[in-house]
Amino acid sequence: MRSLKRLLNFINGWIMSGNDNRRDSIENFLAAARRLQIDVITMNDLQVSMTDIWTKSQTVRETGTPTGLQQLSYYAEIVPPFELTSIGDYLHQVIRDKRIKVQELAQYGFSKTKVYRMYDDDASFRVNDLLTLMPHLGLMPGDLDAVVPQFNDATYRVKYNLQFVAETFIPTAVAQAKMRYDETGHLGFLEQWLELRMIIGSRLDGRWYASEEAKSLGQQAQRLLQSMDTWHDSEFRILKLAWMAVDSVAGVHMMVNMTHANDVDNILQRTYANRVVEGVEYAIFKAMFEGNQELLDALLQVAFEEQKRDDKALKYASWRWRFLMYENYRTYFTNPEEAVGHLVDFFADYDELVGEFEITDKYKTLFNAMWREHLAKK
């Protein structure tokens, strides 16, 4: 939907400005959409063709026919606005959706008055409050990544989203999470600490996935998950880290079985996710840097087997894109130059379709590290 809205903005600028140089931008956008297989968007029973929108838009500009304008307005209206407007609004929805009683939060130092004030007054909302509440609300740092960038106020990205704050703050958050775990023994703080360590490691060093730190954190995450009878949403936040402890084909199948056993539908999961396809990603990077083709092949195999097991695996564009990326990883050992080149092209198309986002920086850092690794072996 973000891509559709971006296309409509391009077209609107072209119609309003009369500048034909914008036509090339639109054509490049549509070419990227075809390569990434989203030129036709399906929403329930409705199909929207981006090419059809562009064709109708050219008719609008050339003839000014009212029917064409009405059609373009219709397409614009099906792009839904994001419902949440602030971090307080997000907190309110989480508490409501998870059926948490406000008075239950008093034991953590949050009176009913304070919670309601946090709903309505962002000035009273502090990062420390957020970090304290997250384990008790079943939230992990990564959960904010899907929400905060959507807010109109860009200050949220710096104030609350740990993926986007300065590197100088994250070590403080890591230390706080570890201190709270040591003080309380609450596993939510341990999970928070593990995910924060994963965030800062993968963010700063493209080769982190093959580091001793990554291996150690992966083993801790795996042991933690194995010790639990039931996984909840916060446990799945560190599943990707736990997969990094895998170093054999047998370990791959053990993790698949463990993931399937715990991956049950629940009311807290608002969007589709395939836990195996998502979980293997960092382990794939690790295998590539370690030169372990057997492990890489096994990880990719179980990911692609999910297409047969899960009828929704190819339904959504973001997951089809992930499979396109994984397909390129297949040739990394046989033709690394081609593999890295295709991955760079993939993210160029991604940026074209959704705009440049910080989420792609991690992959660009990774691919640069892969390229340097390849050159060092030549």
> Could you tell me if 279 and 320 lie in one domain?
yes
Domain-located, residue 192: no
Query: pLDDT, tens digit, for every residue of 274-319?
Result: 899 999 999 999 999 999 999 999 999 999 999 988 888 888 788 8
Q: Give just the sign of the alpha carbon dihedral 344, 345, 346, 350.
A: positive
Return per-residue pLDDT of the chain as tens, 378 residues: 678 878 888 887 887 777 777 888 899 999 999 998 888 877 655 678 888 888 888 877 666 654 444 455 545 444 444 455 666 777 787 787 777 888 888 887 888 888 888 777 765 666 567 667 777 777 655 555 545 555 544 444 444 445 555 566 677 778 888 888 898 888 888 888 898 888 888 877 888 999 999 999 999 999 999 999 888 777 888 899 999 999 999 999 999 999 998 876 543 445 678 899 999 999 999 999 999 999 999 999 999 999 988 888 888 788 888 999 999 999 999 988 888 888 888 888 888 887 766 667 778 788 888 878 766 776
If asked whether residues 65 and 12 sit together in one domain, one would say yes
Is the sign of the CA dihedral 298, 277, 208, 375 positive or negative? positive
- Residues whose CB is less than 8 angstroms from the CB of residue 134 and which lie 6 or more positions away in sequence, other chains included: 140, 141, 188, 192
Do 44 and 126 reside in the same domain of the chain?
A: no
Last residue of a domain, one of 58, 77, 96: 77
Q: Is residue 70 part of a domain?
A: yes
| Three-class SS state of 42 | strand
Cα gap 210→228, rounded to integer Å: 27
Nearest one of 99, 105, 100 to 117, comparing CA atoms = 105
Q: Which domain holds residue 304?
A: 205-377
In a domain, residue 38? The reply is yes
135 with 188: CB under 8 angstroms?
Answer: yes
Tell me whether residue 310 is in a domain.
yes
List, in sequence order, every beta strand (DSSP E) within 7-154.
40-43, 46-49
Does residue 213 sit in the same domain as residue 349? yes
**By the 8 A CB rule, do 234 and 138 touch?**
yes
pLDDT in tens, 45-94: 567 888 888 888 887 766 665 444 445 554 544 444 445 566 677 778 77
Decide if 190 is inside a domain: no
Total count of domains within the chain:
3
